[in-house]
Amino acid sequence: MKEIIVIIPAYNEADSIAHVIKEIPRNVSEIIVVNNNSTDSTAENAEAAGATVLTETRKGYGYACLAGLDYIAKTSKNPYIIVFVDGDYSDYPEELTKIVAPILHDDIDMVIGARDEALREDGSMTPQQIFGNWLATFLMKLFFNARFTDLGPFRAIKYDKLLALNMEDETYGWTVEMQLKVLKKKFTYTEVPVRYKKRIGISKVSGTVKGSIFAGIKILSWIFKYSIK
């Protein structure tokens, strides 16, 4: 069976992290929770739920994802697929099976779980999230003829293709950087519609004005940077 490893960046997700871990299908070989400088019991709850827990004290979504990849490299693991999912329980972890299916059965390089409007719980995405996703994907279509409709964080990618992307963003731009680099390298990709619900707790990005502004700036800067390369 082809090995799947899940990476979950987590900052103060003590109330939700165990739910996420327990609902991930059992066909994955390892669940890595990267405790991103939490001040609550996120790490303890994740470990009790059966995850491998890492610590990354530099705050930032990208820092946490990079820490997970560094651990995989240092332990000489060689998975076939890496899955990223948030620790806030807004996704439906059991849909991992649906997200990895195009890779396993159709040899697709990357799959985005697209938060389809018809499948989203009312209020699960803020107006700024909805607009930001529309703008980013519109610009990617305009500049790169991309078919993306979402920057959804629930995603799967072949491990060797992920390494080839040389990911570098440390904060808010991780998801869009991955998608842009997949486009530039002409890797194959697709989206699958996924359900989405209100998260447990308050978002550290879309739940604050500062977070929304910085995320928007970072995402747009990546798009415009790649549009002139």
Backbone angles phi, psi at 192, to 5 degrees: -125, 135
User: Is the CB of residue 156 less than 8 Å from the CB of residue 99?
Assistant: yes
Query: Considering only CA atoms, which of 69, 78, 81 is closest in space to residue 34?
Result: 69
User: Is the CB of residue 202 less than 8 Å from the CB of residue 91?
Assistant: no
Residues 117-129 pLDDT 10s:
999 999 999 888 8
Considering the entire predicted model, what is its pTM?
A: 0.92
- AA identity, residue 6: V
H or E element at residue 53: strand 52-55
Considering the chain, what percentage of its residues have pLDDT values greater than 90? 81
Check residue 208 and report its DSSP letter: S
Mean pLDDT of the chain: 92
> Between β-strands 189-196 and 110-120, what pairing exists: parallel, antiparallel or unpaired?
parallel
Token digits for 227?
């549009």
Residues 17-72 pLDDT 10s:
999 999 999 999 999 999 999 999 999 999 999 999 999 999 999 999 999 999 99
Question: Tell me, what's the pLDDT at 200?
Answer: 87
Query: Considering only CA atoms, which of 55, 5, 9 is closest in space to residue 31?
Result: 5
In angstroms, rounded to a whole number, what is the distance separating the alpha carbons of residues 64 and 34? 6
Residues 126-165 pLDDT 10s:
888 898 899 999 999 999 999 999 999 999 999 999 999 9
In angstroms, rounded to a whole number, what is the distance separating the alpha carbons of residues 30 and 203? 26
pLDDT at 204 over 90: no
Residues 88-121 pLDDT 10s:
999 999 999 999 999 999 999 999 999 999 999 9
